[in-house]
Amino acid sequence: MHHWVLLATAVLVEVAGTSMLKLSDGFSRLGPTVGTLVLYALSFYLLALVLRSLDVGVAYAIWSGLGTALVVLVGVIFFGEELTAARAASVALIILGIVGLQWTQPA
């Protein structure tokens, strides 16, 4: 169960890193640039720890897929990006794919 907490933390840290990447303005702002690098490094470290317990395909799908879905929400809520029906459906398909991978994982 500990690996799920680490994976959830890795996802949230990656989402924060991606948000900082947006704020870095193409790495032209020092604070957000350093934040991006530190947060991505921490997220990869946590993901590496998770890979001790979970299959790489499942762990990476969850990390990248949930990260993508959450970044879409961050974009809509904090950066004023548009959430169209097609984007919402696409995020739903990503989540469905993650669930499918988890359900089909060998015991």
pLDDT reported for residue 104: 80
Distances (CA, A) of 92 to 4, 17, 27, 48: 21, 23, 31, 26
Taking only the tens place, the pLDDT of each residue in 17-56 is: 999 999 999 999 999 999 999 999 999 999 999 999 999 9
Q: How many domains does the chain have?
A: 1
The Cα–Cα gap between 47 and 69 comes to: 17
pLDDT reported for residue 107: 63
Task: Please check the confidence at residue 105 and state whether its pLDDT lies above 90.
Answer: no
For 26, phi and psi rounded to 5 degrees? 70, 35
Task: Please check the confidence at residue 74 and state whether its pLDDT lies above 90.
Answer: yes
pLDDT reported for residue 103: 82
Q: For the chain, give the mean pLDDT.
A: 94
Distances (CA, A) of 100 to 15, 62, 67, 68: 22, 11, 17, 17
pLDDT reported for residue 87: 94
Taking only the tens place, the pLDDT of each residue in 88-98 is: 999 999 999 88
Domain that holds residue 37: 2-103
pTM: 0.90
